[in-house]
Structure 1
Amino acid sequence: MTASATDAPTLAHPDKLFIGGRWVRPASDRKLRLVNPANEEQFFEVPEASIGDMQAAVAAARQAFDKGPWPRMTPAERAAKMRAIGAALAKRSEALDKAWTAQIGTPVMIAKGSSAGGPGILDYYAGVAESYAFEDLRQSNGYMSKVAIVVKEPVGVVAAIAPWNGPLMTMLSKVAPALAAGCTVVCKPAPETPLEMFLLAEAVEEAGLPDGVLNILPAEREVSDQLISHPGIDKVSFTGSTAAGLHIASVCASRMARYTMELGGKSAAIVLDDFDPAKLGPMLAPLVTMMSGQVCINNSRVLVPRARHDDYVESLATSMAAIKVGNPLEEGVYMGPVAMKRQMERVQYYIDKGRSEGAQVATGGGRPADLNQGYFIEPTLFTGVDNGMTIAQEEIFGPVTAVIPYDSEEQAAEIANASDFGLSGAVYTEDTDRAYAMARHIRTGHYTQNGREFDLTNPFGGFKKSGVGREGGPEGMDPYLEIKTVFLPQAPSHL
């Protein structure tokens, strides 16, 4: 069974852009041509937004923020609209699932039903908006003895820039809190994965969101560069590579624009000596190969006690070799291709680099023998790895992980922390107290015992070069708000 154009979702307006609350003709005839990574064939095309389209989108969002009703609506009114968007999006769940599989090769067994998280995050932030303390009455200790009202107001127009690996949920983790805060948004999806944003725009239109509150810009990186430097953009929310994040931070700093970023990771799973080797492989192998390893919180380093090194390696190698790799449309396939040709070449470069630096391949290391078409890479496990090697320090973003031995728990923590990144991590142990103690030693923003939890109703983000700020939870709305302090002789009547 091969993927074809019939596997793409049906869009209401595949030849237009959503700007200012309307479907409009793009300013140019340029197209984004989407390639299915399972068979290397083009299956769809959508308009590519130009600089002129970007300027129109920012102008629409600016008008909607400065003059429109959205920032001036009550939190409850905004919440009702957000729930309406979620309900409209839920009607498109099958199309969203198809889009994810067709664009980046996410297997149907993972994609199916995953779109339920989109309405969920909109509903969650609708609830946050209804309960959030946008005004806080305090007593001033200043010499005038006035009362103080600490007000949290929307930051303004937000540029939300999402990557290709999780296009819907990553974008909604920005859009939902921004809308809840009262901001207006220009969404710039990755050029490889624009389809979800067309479906989101349809849901926004159906829900009756005021014109210009949310705008969609499917475009290449040139438009992104102009977007982040546009004076009409008050804040940039970005998920992607650390290199791109550093560039965006410098551009925002030059004009004092606000920004939050969720960037790369090189997370370590630390296996403690009480954990049964037979359990490690079945638990960890599905995580390091999920979405072909194209997950920012992937455990791409596995730290094991030296005394039991071989037992843990055998368990993990056996389980990784048993992962079913193939066409993502086939039931039972757990791992599809990597998302694009350049990604396959990148992963293969790191595999070759690991070998050249002296690491050994315990399983995998190339293309599956029975798959000669598509961007497929075998689940790959390295041993004989020193933490200073390239494959232990740089983010590979593929189904590749490295086993590193340690001699004490203190050394394990040192190895885990010896990284430019600090996004995620895990500890495998049957002892919760030991797990919590290890979690407190690791300089990372996200940590799990015996697995990998991901929950956007709790804060998520990184230390060090893994990002700035947090997404998820009530804390995820804070970056979309500015704080104002108002001193009055007495409290206003509504407080």
Structure 2
Amino acid sequence: MTTIESVRTSFFINGGWHAPSGSSTLPVISPLTEEQIGSVPAATTSDVDAAVDAARTARRLPEWRDISPAERAAHLRRFADALEDRAEDRARAVTSENGMPIGLARFAEGAAPVQLLRYYADLIESTPVEERRTSQPLPGTTVVRREPIGVVAAIAPWNFPAVLSMFKIAPALAAGCTVVLKPSPETSLDSYILAEAAVAAGLPDGVLNIVNGGSDIGQYLVAHPHVDKVAFTGSTAAGREIGKVCGELIRPVTLELGGKSAALVLDDADLEQTVTGLATASLLNTGQTCYMSTRILVPANRYDTYLEAISAMSAGLPIGDPMDESVAIGPLASARHRDRVLSMIARARDEGGTITTGGGTPAAVDRGFFVEPTVFGGVDNSATIAREEVFGPVLTVLRYDDLDDAIALANDSAYGLGGTVWTSDPDRGVDVARQIETGSFGVNYFNLDWNSPFGGVKASGIGRELGPEGLAAYQNLKSIFLPG
């Protein structure tokens, strides 16, 4: 991290740098070297109060409250330009913090936040603030207004910290809301680059505020009396607790949570193309991606062929320093998470699963939070490894008898976030996709489309991000009736 400031001593609040009220710090640990590479201050409740107060004040000031959608769009475009100037630094910061391969980080953490700001700038300019409807049953007109929901508490995870923060920030700002962002403790440094871009872009004071902290600070922010909406990406367990608080407070909440998505390999799929595609659809970011297709369902009569091919593909992915352009599998984000993944591998082995590749840490690596890409065969959909989210480079290959059986297995899950189908007939793939209980799906690929809603069903969450639906999540609707 030679060009990135790695020791930070303040918070970004009300457009400037705010000295912390406490003395505690949060270390930033390299997942590659296992050494501390930086630190950030840990917020107290007083710091959160200051950030929320700044956001609440900014929400009511005319320079934000009274400007037009076109003027907000101009702010977002300047913000995007400033982030674009810092895209490489931000990508490298994230790779240093969580081990994301740098090629992926350049897109997901460098370019994608810029694209999202520009997308929502365009969208807010084309979305009317008001529309008039002919009222029923009485004659008259109703004016339907879209108004900003208010102060947003945005809580981001460590796996894609930059882009998943922007899933919340871009539509919230486009709608006219103000934001308090709490990054994950593991990935707080990159958010300072976000703050510096906000300053360079001239974003009005208090519109974006950033405080660091652990789960205690997140809990305080979620329940803060002056927060109007919560947007959270993270584990299902944490999402349940946030949902309880927001339910008690009657507070709007968007929860993008865990997944255990299925890849349905149909009997007409091309073996080579399917297995090549699964390298991304199932193992992106070392498997630390919520929508990964980690349950791979293959026809029983081709089970051995696919198990062998998927195992070979997984074993062949380059492992090592995530700053190396050729590396596909970096270290996991933390020692705690590595240990959790290894414990799930051990449990699956104890339950009778057969490891066909991987199963531990790479022999050639003497440090870093690495786990080999691991493939399990010989289990069914009742196994723990097939039901619980691992969030690492661990795949389970399951057999099915016919298409109805495959669809039933795909739907036999507590989760419903992503999924894929692999077939030589795209129309057949779409027909299968319609039958899967999930919020998003891909035919021979998986892609997050900025212009379409993303989110889960069942234990995978509530609400949607991205697309016009992601903007609507930060707007209140008001109806004004006029007799006539």
TM-score (norm 2): 0.97
Structure 1 counterpart SS, 2:319: coil
Cα pair 1:383 1:403 within 8 Å, conserved: yes
- Runs ≥4 residues deviating over 6 A: none
- 1:20 & 1:259 partners in 2: Cα distance? 24
- Tell me which amino acid in the other structure corresponds to 1:245: G
Could you tell me which of 321, 324, 338 is aligned with 1:330? 324
Aligned counterparts, 1:282-361, within 5 A = 282-361=276-355
Partner of 1:34: 28
Aligned length: 483
Taking only the aligned residue pairs, the percentage that are identical comes to: 46
Are residues 1:486 and 2:483 paired?
no
Partner of 2:177: 183
Partner of 1:123: 118
Partner of 1:203: 197
Q: Residue 238 of structure 1: CA displacement?
A: 0.4
Could you tell me which of 392, 399, 418 is aligned with 2:393? 399
Could you tell me which of 450, 460, 467 is aligned with 1:466? 460
- Tell me which amino acid in the other structure corresponds to 1:430: S
Cα pair 2:79 2:201 within 8 Å, conserved: yes
Q: Residue 142 of structure 1: CA displacement?
A: 4.1
- 1:375 & 1:37 partners in 2: Cα distance? 5
Q: Residue 324 of structure 1: CA displacement?
A: 0.5
Could you tell me which of 77, 89, 94 is aligned with 2:83? 89
- 1:453 & 1:330 partners in 2: Cα distance? 24
Partner of 2:360: 366
Q: Residue 489 of structure 1: CA displacement?
A: 4.3
Cα pair 1:178 1:185 within 8 Å, conserved: yes
Partner of 1:387: 381
Could you tell me which of 136, 139, 146 is aligned with 2:134? 139
Partner of 2:262: 268
- 2:429 & 2:137 partners in 1: Cα distance? 46
Structure 2 counterpart SS, 1:69: helix
- 1:77-131 deviations in Å (ceiling 9; x for gaps): 0000000000011111121011111000112232234411111100000011000
Q: Residue 481 of structure 1: CA displacement?
A: 0.7
Gaps of 5+ in 1: 491-495
Partner of 2:230: 236
- 2:280 & 2:246 partners in 1: Cα distance? 38
- 1:82 & 1:211 partners in 2: Cα distance? 14
- 1:193 & 1:455 partners in 2: Cα distance? 25
Structure 1 counterpart SS, 2:185: coil
RMSD of Structure 2 on Structure 1 (CA): 1.3
- Tell me which amino acid in the other structure corresponds to 2:438: T
Are residues 1:151 and 2:145 paired?
yes
- 2:220 & 2:51 partners in 1: Cα distance? 12
- 2:316 & 2:32 partners in 1: Cα distance? 20
- 1:71 & 1:270 partners in 2: Cα distance? 48
Could you tell me which of 9, 15, 25 is aligned with 2:4? 9
- Tell me which amino acid in the other structure corresponds to 1:445: G
Partner of 1:493: none
- Tell me which amino acid in the other structure corresponds to 2:37: F
Could you tell me which of 409, 415, 423 is aligned with 1:421? 415
Cα pair 1:281 1:318 within 8 Å, conserved: no
Gaps of 5+ in 2: none
Cα pair 1:138 1:147 within 8 Å, conserved: yes
- 2:400 & 2:63 partners in 1: Cα distance? 58
Q: Residue 277 of structure 1: CA displacement?
A: 2.3
Could you tell me which of 160, 170, 175 is aligned with 1:166? 160
- Tell me which amino acid in the other structure corresponds to 1:153: E
Q: Residue 69 of structure 1: CA displacement?
A: 2.9
Cα pair 2:270 2:424 within 8 Å, conserved: no
Partner of 2:92: 98
Could you tell me which of 218, 223, 228 is aligned with 1:224? 218
- Tell me which amino acid in the other structure corresponds to 2:378: G
Larger deviation: 402-411 or 447-456?
447-456
Q: Residue 68 of structure 1: CA displacement?
A: 4.4
Q: Residue 334 of structure 1: CA displacement?
A: 1.2
Cα pair 2:119 2:450 within 8 Å, conserved: no
- 2:332 & 2:65 partners in 1: Cα distance? 41
